Amino acid sequence: MTTKKHKLLSNPWFIGTGSSILGVIILEYFGLTKILSSIWSVIKWIANLIADSFHIKVQVSLWFLILLPFLVVGLIVLILWLMSIKKKEKEVAKESSFLDYKEHQFGDVLYRWDYVLNYTGKMVVDNLTHYCPKCKCMIVDDNCPVCHENFYNKFKSHDEIIALITHHIETNNLNK
């Protein structure tokens, strides 16, 4: 009997099966609930995480929806403001660009001039002088001191030249 018992206990199949059953029993009574509750905890945690993130998402999109009209209006105002600045810059550039326009040949005479600020704060033509268009020398007593060309009767009146210069500035045609 003892040898039979001993034989049975030393049988690897008996030991293997027995320990497996014992393991399952131990697991059933002491471990399974813990494992199950652990798995349940993980599932709950994941579910909570998903629910939380969904809640946050909903909150964010709600805030976004509330802020959206303000953002759009703000963006439009910003674009319009930037456009007005650009337009103003262009106008200023256009207004001051004529200051480099300081000579023009009208007819047979080259005219040169400066600009001065008048009492109304406007830039006006000043110091209008006559030059020979060929040698760019100032005309003295209707004559060019260099090529001796005579300019008698070739001058336009001062008012006519001012009118022509003003017209070229106003039409932005500043090529000589």
Q: How far is the CB of 108 from Zn ion (least distance, A)?
A: 11
> Of 48-56, 144-152, 158-166, 167-175, which part binds Zn ion (CB under 5 A)?
144-152
- Does residue 140 interact with Zn ion by CB under 5 A? no
- Does residue 134 interact with Zn ion by CB under 5 A? yes
Site for Zn ion (CB under 5 A): which residue of 132, 139, 161, 165? 132
Q: How far is the CB of 134 from Zn ion (least distance, A)?
A: 4
C-alpha dist (Å) from residue 99 to 3, 89, 106, 128, 171: 125, 16, 18, 14, 14
Q: How many residues bind Zn ion (CB under 5 A)?
A: 6
* Phi/psi-derived region of residue 66, left when phi > 0, alpha when psi is between -120 and 50, beta in every other case: alpha
- Does residue 146 interact with Zn ion by CB under 5 A? yes
> Closer CB to Zn ion, residue 141 or residue 170?
141
Which positions touch Zn ion (CB under 5 A)?
Answer: 132, 134-135, 144, 146-147
